[in-house]
Amino acid sequence: MDEIIAKIDDPEMLDQIEKIIPFHGYLSTGAFIGLQILQIARKLLDIKEDDKVYVTCETFNCLPDPFQILCGCTVGNKGLKMLDYDKMAVTINKAAEPGAKSVKAVRIILDPEKTVNYPVFHAWYMNERKISHEEAISELIKAGEDVYTWKFVDMPVPVKNKKDVAICKDCGESYVRYDDEDLCKGCYSSD
Q: What pLDDT, on the 0 to 100 scale, is given for residue 1? A: 72
Chain center to CA of 49 = 17
- Report pLDDT for 7: 77
Taking residues 33-44, what's their average pLDDT?
97
Cα angle 23-139-136, degrees, rounded to a multiple of 5: 50
**Residues 80, 132 within the same domain:** yes
List all residues 6 or more positions away from 10 whose beta carbon is below 8 Å from its beta carbon.
Answer: none
Q: How high does pLDDT run on average in the chain?
A: 93
Average pLDDT over residues 4-32: 89
State whether 75 and 167 are in the same domain.
Answer: no
Q: Which residues contact 98 (CB under 8 A, 6 or more apart)?
A: none
- Per-residue model confidence (pLDDT) at position 87: 97
C-alpha–C-alpha distance, residues 124 and 106, integer Å: 25
Q: How many domains does the chain have?
A: 2
User: What integer pLDDT is reported at residue 32 of this predicted model?
Assistant: 96
Strands (E), 125-163: 148-156
Which range marks the domain in which residue 188 is found? 162-191
Residue 48 per-residue DSSP state: -
Is the confidence at residue 4, as pLDDT, over 90?
no
Q: What is the mean pLDDT of residues 36-58?
A: 96
Q: Do 90 and 25 fall into the same domain? A: yes
Tens digits of residue pLDDT in 109-145 = 999 999 999 999 999 999 999 999 999 999 999 999 9
- Cβ atoms of residues 43 and 92 within 8 Å: no
CATH of the domain at 130: 3.30.1330.130
With 70 as the cut, is the pLDDT of residue 191 above it? no
Q: Taking 90 as the threshold, does the pLDDT of residue 188 lie above it? A: no
